[in-house]
Structure 1
């Protein structure tokens, strides 16, 4: 099968390219900055397309022609201070991809959604299936945009009933080779990766609980959905729910109880001062989203994650400590000098050309 993948150079994208090529599929990769010709991902046919560009619509149609499926992975996480830009990437980009899928006559669209689509967790904190309400976490830009993208898909599904639409809704996704990229998104530029070798304190509210899933397991879920042409939403979360004591043990830190209200004030003030790049919406998302029940993916797709949540966390944190990276621009090695230079210029993650 010929499968086009937007965001093919990122965390899930690289895992998906590996999985698809490894199972004999032809891959068309779309990325703002494709990997070089000597990259291990060079076996894919690459197109350099920025979804915010005015000519992106026509170029996407050309790239999608002849595809049996399109997987849409592109999503903007930074800069968090430029919400208009993020909306153009997230919601506007999804709209362009969907329109190009329809125009090119592609029969199957796989959209990477998120646990962030869901409304806050139930009072009893039980895992929820794909029928849980999809109103998101109001204070999270990421969540609001995920909800908007799914609402767009609802409209497209009603207007184009012959189009098979799959929505994957994974928990937190990690892998060793995404570590440098994750550091750029979450850790202030002045903090070197080596500092993570010993984190003395973990000052968080003890109510935190997290689910993880490995990028390779997400890629497997997407591949299975494509090969089976399975429609509908699928939660993807590995076995195990991690509590604060689990995080502290992996970080080799001592947990210090800090109320969520205090954490919110600290995160919000430091973000507004541009001291770090994570806004308070991400904190609300972490504490507000429900746990995922992945039964449907396991039963209908035959999906079986190969790593537990704890194993994913350990691999990702160890990768961060060692500044592990991959051979694509977005997953490049994190350089302290480069990070500081970009922070000084007001762009802590990447200098993005604005349309």
Structure 2
């Protein structure tokens, strides 16, 4: 009934395997290069790939453009920061608080936002995102506009202390693998088929008896929870929680990662996060006007490949 979704299982999966081998070897490569910068950058890529993979469920499979998903990244970051501020360093407790709070926020916001369509959905998610951004700015007891430094990084027993960069990196990589596996399973299940069906032809899906709100709300909440975990990891990476994590620009960057890598593909968000962050790092080292180069480059990719970088690879490998 619906076209097969693009996924990481290309006819020759050597490229996906090579990417994962490179990710697994990053701590060793950074040690060999004698610089921890590359490991920090790789961790940042993995963390944003988690958030982008969550958004991809809503954007890539559901066709819903959310300009407010950075608010869930902020919830995860501030859950870690505020808990540490009050002496709670238990990472499991922090994660439980962050996920519970994100669910409490995502369900009503999703119910309200999903009553709208198209531009209305974009604008209402943007409005909700900005509301929470200004809420974070108003938290003067927790740094306000200056942000909140983490008193100590989370303790996630029996995982090694997250002060170690390799431990944090492998934890983020394990979370990314779980999120991508869940995305692959969802894409090939009835849930993913229904989401793509509503994206393609809502009227026909409603006539077939499918409940639009139920499926799209589930996708919205699941994507919010993935972004929340990414925010918790980001706070532990930077040892900081900032209102900028909730800004509409941060939401826009997540959308760029999904579009650049390939909407509706499992590997796309990882490829998009890597491409965007590496391009930003390289171009900013060349000129202070690097945004003037990055913008046209992204437009060029969008024009040449409707399904992004990973979609272009799969098309060359023989996928439809």
Alignment TM-score, normalising by the size of structure 1? 0.26
Q: Which has the higher strand share?
A: 1
TM-score by length of 2: 0.28
Question: Bigger relative contact order, structure 1 or 2, given CA contacts below 8 A and separation 6+?
Answer: 2
